[in-house]
Amino acid sequence: MTDSPTPASSAGKPKAAPAAAKASPDADALAAARADHTLSLDVSAVPGLFTALVDFRFTTFITRRIAGFIYAILPVSIVLAGLVAFFSIVVTSVGLMTGAVNAQPISGILTILGALVLLPTATLVAIVLARMIVQVNVALVAIAENTASLRT
């Protein structure tokens, strides 16, 4: 009913290396390979992913497969939107301060100070909310996968 990968058995896991071996260049390469592996997509699931995309009966779930990818994009997008908003506010504030007809330097300075306080806070709140939304969706799909056997 689902295409979620099953957890690997502990028999196939390599034993931990001694502390002396961790300082070697091989350990650094292994750590880098593990870091690369955590950021990579599961290519073996791609054919199943495309099959799940055209499953109009919704018997397979793709949420758990793409949740990490979606969450990797969300914080980057939120931070970029925050930076664009900050620079937009700075340009507007400079326009307020140096207006040819009706210059308002105090309003411009207060706007920049407000942006320095409120935009990082709003960006952090948006990232936390994005994480919560992704987690809720993954949890709902996990519940649906685990209770699928009860429906039959």
Per-residue confidence band for 53, with pLDDT thresholds at 50, 70 and 90: confident
> Could you report the per-residue pLDDT of 123-135, keeping only the tens digit for each?
999 999 999 999 9
Does position 100 have pLDDT exceeding 80, yes or no?
A: no
Q: Is residue 14 part of a domain?
A: no
**Taking residues 144-151, what's their average pLDDT?**
83
Same domain, yes or no: 103 and 121: yes
Range of the domain at 39: 20-60
Q: What is the mean pLDDT of residues 73-87?
A: 96
Quote the radius of gyration of the chain (alpha carbons, Å): 24
pLDDT for residue 12 is more than 50: no
SS (H, E, C) 78-91: HHHHHHHHHHHHHH
35 and 104, same domain (yes or no):
no
Question: Could you identify the residue written with the tokens 């939107």?
Answer: 81
